[in-house]
Amino acid sequence: MSRTWDTIVIGAGPAGLAAATQLARTDQSVLVLERKRLGGLLWNANLVENYPGFPGGIGGQELASLMVEQARQAGVRFEMEEVMELTEDAVGFVVVGRENEWKTRTVILAAGTCPKKPIFRGLETLGQGAVEYEVADLPENLEEKEVLVVGGGDAAFDHALNIVSRGGKAVICHKGERAGALALLVRRASEEKSIDVLAGVALEGCEPGGRWVLASLSSGEVLDVDHILLACGRVANDRLLAEPLPRGLFPIGDMVNGHYRQAAIAVGDGLRAAMRIEEMLRGEDREPREDEDMVRDEAKGPMKDEDIRSNEG
């Protein structure tokens, strides 16, 4: 643990990758620690159509891979390890992983969200891999596989479209009479022959079955499926977050953005945190000046040319 990093980024999703790329461009030493998959939750997105720069959209995996490649090209280093603890010391922070420890002057915490894990009767009787929370954790080839997707939000419908694009068949069940997902996604799912939607239906229990899982639904139906994919919402992964927030710790991205959970927002958070850290490490730690405030009320008027130029980088 001899070296002290300028910044350690916890989490290699869009927020952490954007922050790390920006810091590396300003010659800060930056290390990204990731417990699961470089690219974060974006790996699960079937088609990202609202990230600027990609007319026609881009697959989530492809966008995530491009972000990782860009960070590497900028000189960012990665280590695959889960961070278990974060403590303050005289220099800044000690980051304690499952196996290693690192010292750093500042920390960007971009740990994203965790899935909500509803309990169903019989869940514990199923083998590993029968129930998943991320579509990226299902086998890549889903030909002749049938997946019960539980949930009625954007993620559930996006997952179903993803499953079909990988050769599988999806049944979505959601409790409400109407799905809460974007109308665009609901329409696309309704146009797919390999997607069935069961509205007003809940998953009640499950047990090992012919394909892999027998899923009992509140409608009385029993489905014989290969996997159950639970898309029942997500909560902030704020386990490492200290209160009050110590100087030098910057939580960003989905973990602090409530329901505004979008890649472009997370990326913007990453850039802002990186710029704040650069100022701080240059000894210019200060509150943002009034003329830097990006949210302008009408009294202040639109941004001036010189403000826009000063933000170019």
Ligand X SMILES: Cc1cc2nc3c(=O)[nH]c(=O)nc-3n(C[C@H](O)[C@H](O)[C@H](O)COP(=O)(O)OP(=O)(O)OC[C@H]3O[C@@H](n4cnc5c(N)ncnc54)[C@H](O)[C@@H]3O)c2cc1C
What is the contact surface with ligand X in residues (CB under 6 A)?
10-16, 33-37, 40-42, 44-45, 48, 50-51, 82-83, 110-113, 155, 158-159, 237, 253-254, 261-264, 266
- Nearest distance in Å: CB 145, ligand X: 18
- Nearest distance in Å: CB 21, ligand X: 12
Cβ proximity to ligand X: between 19 and 216 the closer is 19
Bond before 55 cis per omega within 30 degrees: no
- Nearest CA among 203, 204, 206 for reference residue 124: 206
Cβ proximity to ligand X: between 51 and 214 the closer is 51
Distances, alpha carbon 149 to alpha carbons 104, 124, 208, 247, in Å: 42, 18, 17, 42
d(CA 62, CA 262): 16
- Nearest CA among 155, 135, 161 for reference residue 227: 135
For residue 182, give the DSSP letter.
Answer: -
Cβ proximity to ligand X: between 223 and 252 the closer is 252
Cβ proximity to ligand X: between 46 and 216 the closer is 46
- Nearest distance in Å: CB 206, ligand X: 22
Cβ proximity to ligand X: between 165 and 218 the closer is 165
- Nearest distance in Å: CB 104, ligand X: 14
Query: Helices 183-190 and 154-165 meet at what angle, rounded to 10?
Result: 40
d(CA 142, CA 163): 7
- Nearest CA among 136, 85, 95 for reference residue 239: 85
d(CA 126, CA 170): 19
Amino acid at 288: P
- Nearest distance in Å: CB 270, ligand X: 7
Cβ proximity to ligand X: between 149 and 216 the closer is 149
- Nearest distance in Å: CB 14, ligand X: 4
d(CA 145, CA 124): 22
Cβ proximity to ligand X: between 264 and 271 the closer is 264
Burial annotation 163-174 (CB, 10 A radius, 16+ → b, else e):
bbebebbbbbbb
Cβ proximity to ligand X: between 18 and 206 the closer is 18
- Nearest distance in Å: CB 284, ligand X: 26
Distances, alpha carbon 213 to alpha carbons 41, 196, 197, in Å: 26, 18, 19
- Nearest distance in Å: CB 115, ligand X: 9
| Cβ-contact 172, 162 below 8 angstroms | no
